[in-house]
Amino acid sequence: MRRRQGSPGVLPGIDARIIDVAPRRRRAHPGRRARLQPRPPYAGGHDRALWQPGDGTGLHDCTVGGIGASRIGRLVLQRLLAFDVRVLLSDPTLTPAEAALLGAEAVEPDELCRRSDPVTVHAPALPETHHLLDRRRLALLPDRAVLVNTARGSLVDTGALTGECVSGRLSAVLDVTDPEPLPAGHPLFELPNVLITPHLPYTA
């Protein structure tokens, strides 16, 4: 049975290596933002006035939290370690010794939220993971933290995340949402600190 492009599904094997780089292809790091404004339809060099530079925040010397140590989660971890970051992992199937072998520290979800600058989500959609990142846990994230979700939309409380992003306290990169797609006119579509892609990471 052939699956239509863009339809939901599980991406095993080599596809995991494709999906894990999607957030980096879409935006190298959300803290380092430059939004391209509408440009007049004429040829010529770049006009500096059309670019709005961000604050230059990068991955150097930061702590990255990974929720889920699945195949994709571990591939993301391998790439993050190349940036000399500290990595926290939260996964009920992962022991501290296993996390240490991966170059990470195993922690509970609450501690991960308190200590992480960006948080990247790679857990499955299960009854026990529904709204794993709820209003209480999102409030634990440090100011200016970034949430990246390329897993399943139901893991994040969309209403709570919307409030945090509208306030400007958090930023988000979302390849999945709950509901999916978000209704037309949803506030997350209009925010400069939110990037939403249409559940197509493997085409990045």
Given this model, what pLDDT does residue 26 score?
A: 42
Secondary element (H or E) of residue 105: strand 105-106
pLDDT digits (tens, 9 = 90+) for 75-115: 999 999 999 999 999 999 999 999 999 999 999 999 999 99
Q: How many CA atoms lie within 13 A of 167 on its CB side?
A: 13
Is the residue at 48 inside a domain?
A: no
pLDDT of residue 33: 43
Q: Is 199 contained in some domain?
A: yes
Whether a cis peptide bond, with omega within 30° of 0, leads into 181 is yes
The catalytic site residues sit at 152, 180, 199
Question: Which tops the pLDDT comparison, 36 or 155?
Answer: 155
Q: What pLDDT shows up at residue 77?
A: 92
Number of domains comprising the chain? 1
Indicate whether 119 belongs to any domain.
yes
CATH number of the CATH domain containing 63? 3.40.50.720
Averaged pLDDT, 34-45: 44
Q: State which residues form the domain around 125.
A: 14-27+54-203
